A = this chain, B = another copy of it.
Amino acid sequence: MDKNKLSIQSYKGTRDFYPQDMSYRNWYFSTVRHVVESYGYEEYHSPLLESYDIYAAKSGDEVANEQLYLFKDKGGRKVAIRPEMTPSVARMVAARLESLTLPLRWYSIANFLRYEKPQKGRLREHWQVNVDILGSEEIEADLEIILVITSIMRAFHADDAMFRIKIGNRKFFNDVLTDILKVKKEQVGVISKAVDKKTKLSKEKYHEWLKDIGLTGKTIEQLEEIFSLSFAEITRMMGIDSEGAQELYKLFLLLQKIGLDTYCEFDFSIIRGFDYYTGTVFEVYDTSVENRRSLFGGGRYDNLVGMFKDITISGIGFGLGDVTFQQFLELHNLIPVDIIKQKKVLIARFLDISFEHCFTLSEELRKANIANTIYLSPDHKLGKQIRFAEKKGFSVLLILGEDELKKGKVTIKHLDSRTQIQVERGLCIEKIKELL
């Protein structure tokens, strides 16, 4: 590399989206968009920068302290690039509480930045769909969110052999810890953090963490046992009357009624990192042996706008990123080949033909909804123009030479099949539509 030249690398942990990558991303998000809009969700968007305060107050510690892109602006304000959507949407709801009719069904597609060590499935900038029902405490809202998720998975043609929605409940987790394991209430938060990180730690480190919190070896063993129990087995030990148990019971009953139970299973260990989750929590897992990991997740939060207004608004939602999910789609061969291949028309240019002839043809095609491009250099030989068309993936090359103009015709070169025909100018659009 020339020492006087700047680096062509994108900033660490970020991606350049070339047209091919963008075709994928547009296909991906428009599939999700189509599903959520079919349930009546409305799109919103937040500013890229937010006051630091809203992250300091509410997010899990890791994001607020270590991963935040935080700086002072030229006016001395402490601002951060959004690392997630929830604090922003909370602020937006709080700002318009009087005029918004709850519940809201909202979604957004946005980028987020976190200062992470780049690794497989984790980047510093990623794009994410956020889908939420805001302002409903009904268990039917939890159900609807699970329903939307299965609809999204099925829109990508993922079947029940490919993924599993593991559902837990924060209240139930807390109750089990205090009622069965008899741990102190103030220990529950820290234990849930340890359990959340369980699969990412060695067994020794995980046990060490729990011991540091103050759990005895016996309690740790008991906790381990509970992980392997079903909902029925746990509730046999502690009853089904607690709020968390009731929520899980009702949710699974509804899921069964509408036939979604094949996609879902109870999992006591599902926690979700953020502090704000209070009820139902869930993660969608890839079931393939090569990629047995969480693809995305979400849950219920009971105090969405609490840091902005003295009012309690509960919500439930999920965030679906692009990085991990792309790996899932690739692994299961769920990305159609034709999302990238575009069917395009190129109009050739010649020195002896005035530009307006090409222009008129181009306008006619565009009016007939046929996207097309005019070759820019009139002094290039036809061979060069054909090679350009092939390299660029054009399907059709239109030739309007002196001969064609005299006869009132157009030559249509079909590059995919390497055939060509000359047709009446008036029949040109019809013929091209057949070929595309």
Chain A interfacial positions (CB closer than 8 Å to B)? 2, 5-12, 14-19, 21-23, 25-26, 37-40, 42-51, 53-54, 57, 69, 71, 73-75, 77, 79, 81, 91-92, 94-96, 101, 103, 105-106, 111, 113, 115, 124-125, 133, 136, 138, 140-141, 143-144, 147, 254, 257-258, 307-310, 342, 344, 346, 349, 354-356, 359, 366, 369, 371-374, 376-378, 388, 391-392
CA distance A418 to B39 in the complex (A): 24
Tell me how far the C-beta of A28 lies from the nearest C-beta in chain B, rounded to whole angstroms: 13
**Residues of chain B lying within 8 A (CB to CB) of residue A372:** 38-40
Tell me how far the C-beta of A130 lies from the nearest C-beta in chain B, rounded to whole angstroms: 13
Which listed residue (B10, B17, B96) contacts A18, Cβ 8 A?
B96
Q: A40-B373, A144-B374 are in contact. Are A51 and B11 (CB under 8 A)?
A: yes
**Could you tell me if B8 and A309 are in contact, using CB atoms closer than 8 angstroms?**
yes
**Residues of chain B lying within 8 A (CB to CB) of residue A44:** 16-19, 21-22
Tell me how far the C-beta of A368 lies from the nearest C-beta in chain B, rounded to whole angstroms: 10
CA distance A273 to B376 in the complex (A): 28
Which listed residue (B125, B366, B392) contacts A47, Cβ 8 A?
B125
List 8 additional contacts besides A11-B47, A140-B378; criterion CB under 8 Å.
A6-B54, A6-B91, A38-B372, A47-B125, A140-B376, A254-B355, A257-B356, A258-B359
**Could you tell me if A308 and B16 are in contact, using CB atoms closer than 8 angstroms?**
no
Copies in the complex: 2
Complex: chain B residue closest to A377, CB-CB: B138
**Could you tell me if A310 and B2 are in contact, using CB atoms closer than 8 angstroms?**
yes
Which listed residue (B26, B43, B101) contacts A43, Cβ 8 A?
B26
CA distance A54 to B6 in the complex (A): 7
Tell me how far the C-beta of A162 lies from the nearest C-beta in chain B, rounded to whole angstroms: 21
**Could you tell me if A391 and B101 are in contact, using CB atoms closer than 8 angstroms?**
yes
**Residues of chain B lying within 8 A (CB to CB) of residue A101:** 388, 391-392
**Residues of chain B lying within 8 A (CB to CB) of residue A378:** 140
**Residues of chain B lying within 8 A (CB to CB) of residue A9:** 95
Complex: chain B residue closest to A345, CB-CB: B40
CA distance A356 to B253 in the complex (A): 11
CA distance A18 to B89 in the complex (A): 10
**Could you tell me if B11 and A115 are in contact, using CB atoms closer than 8 angstroms?**
no
**Could you tell me if B22 and A42 are in contact, using CB atoms closer than 8 angstroms?**
yes
Q: A39-B371, A81-B48 are in contact. Are A308 and B8 (CB under 8 A)?
A: yes
**Could you tell me if A79 and B11 are in contact, using CB atoms closer than 8 angstroms?**
yes
**Could you tell me if A57 and B377 are in contact, using CB atoms closer than 8 angstroms?**
no
Which listed residue (B6, B48, B113) contacts A308, Cβ 8 A?
B6
CA distance A21 to B106 in the complex (A): 13
Complex: chain B residue closest to A17, CB-CB: B45
Tell me how far the C-beta of A117 lies from the nearest C-beta in chain B, rounded to whole angstroms: 10
**Residues of chain B lying within 8 A (CB to CB) of residue A53:** 6-7
7 tightest A-B contacts by CB? A14-B47, A40-B373, A19-B42, A71-B71, A17-B45, A8-B95, A101-B391
**Could you tell me if A125 and B48 are in contact, using CB atoms closer than 8 angstroms?**
yes
Q: A49-B125, A69-B73, A388-B101 are in contact. Are A371 and B257 (CB under 8 A)?
A: no
Which listed residue (B12, B23, B47) contacts A77, Cβ 8 A?
B12
Q: A16-B47, A43-B22, A344-B40 are in contact. Are A5 and B307 (CB under 8 A)?
A: yes
Which listed residue (B111, B346, B376) contacts A136, Cβ 8 A?
B376
**Could you tell me if B140 and A355 are in contact, using CB atoms closer than 8 angstroms?**
yes
Tell me how far the C-beta of A306 lies from the nearest C-beta in chain B, rounded to whole angstroms: 9
**Residues of chain B lying within 8 A (CB to CB) of residue A43:** 19, 22-23, 26
Complex: chain B residue closest to A89, CB-CB: B16
Q: A2-B310, A73-B69 are in contact. Are A111 and B258 (CB under 8 A)?
A: no
Tell me how far the C-beta of A377 lies from the nearest C-beta in chain B, rounded to whole angstroms: 5
Complex: chain B residue closest to A309, CB-CB: B5
**Could you tell me if B49 and A11 are in contact, using CB atoms closer than 8 angstroms?**
yes
**Could you tell me if A15 and B391 are in contact, using CB atoms closer than 8 angstroms?**
no
**Could you tell me if A113 and B48 are in contact, using CB atoms closer than 8 angstroms?**
yes
CA distance A309 to B392 in the complex (A): 23
